[in-house]
Structure 1
Amino acid sequence: MSPTEVYPNLETIVNQYINSLDDYSDEHFFFKTNDETWSLGQMYEHLTVSSQFFFLANCVRCLEKRKGQLGGEKTHFGEQQFKYGGFPPVKLKIPDAIRGPEPVAKTREEYKSILAKILVDSQNLIEAVSNDDGSYKALQVAMGWLDAKEWYYLHEMHYRHHLRQKTELENQVIS
């Protein structure tokens, strides 16, 4: 999918996350059922940090032809991801070898502005990513070598994937 096709769905999904922030109390936003499960706030932190420093950053790296390489192939998992247009409908666990520290959530108000900025940054990349020839790629550990368009699409897939987790976490704090 082209960035012009991806962006409207990304905008709709990110706006769902923004609008939901008003539905949570601070207690709900930071609530954890156990040490293995994130709070809603931690999930928001993961989404926003991933957007800024991973997905969008790798789009820019590909456009600037830095910290990657010319060419490269996707892994089997990467091929499947793009063939089906999304993550598999299962819980995924980040391998210990590449997992960072547990996310530390900010306030709900901060996420409203961070997510709005992510939408602006995503919109500002549409033209450049659309015009990219796809020859320069950056490595995604599980999926292989991705070009700017693929990183852009993966960004939207990532937000969509976490909608399931969002619903699950919301149900835990409501019950």
Structure 2
Amino acid sequence: MSTPTRTGRNVSMTVNGEAVDRHVDPRRTLSDFLRKDCGATGVHVGCEHGVCGACTVLLDGRTARSCCTLAVQAEGSEITTVEGLADGGELHPLQEAFWKHHGLQCGFCTPGILLTVTELLAGNPDPTDDEIREGISGNICRCTGYQFIVDAVRDAAEILRGTGTGTGTGTGTDPTR
């Protein structure tokens, strides 16, 4: 009887600021790699087709669906998961705003939305409500109805810009609400 040969390849990347070197099967998804090999269980897998957005991570600062990306494709990249947003024990302003505005209920979609909004605010620090809604349009949330998410993003944007107290009353606010 022959012994099985070791297939796969070594990958090196940075995950939430930590260097990671692992041997992976070439068919292993980035989401499985992050969850099982790196312990980043905040990466959620919903649809496994890249449609729901729950598996969204930042790959070199840009959003990527980790369920549709192979771990070997992330070779040499910098990956940020929701675990990488907080600074030590301090929540990221987005995380604080989601908590404050009840921008989550079951929380399954929240990590993907937080990373999507991180990219949105990096490119547009003062989005309108419509721009926020467009920015998160690739993330499905079955619980919140999205308004609390929009409120949280607006609030966090103010804090990140340093133009407010985080009351959520920036230029994106709809005064009729």
Please indicate the TM-score interval, normalised by the length of the shorter structure: under 0.3
> Higher helix proportion, which one?
1
Q: TM-score, length-normalised on structure 1?
A: 0.21
Question: Per chain length, whose mean CA-contact separation is higher, i.e. which structure has more relative contact order (CA < 8 Å, sep 6+)?
Answer: 1
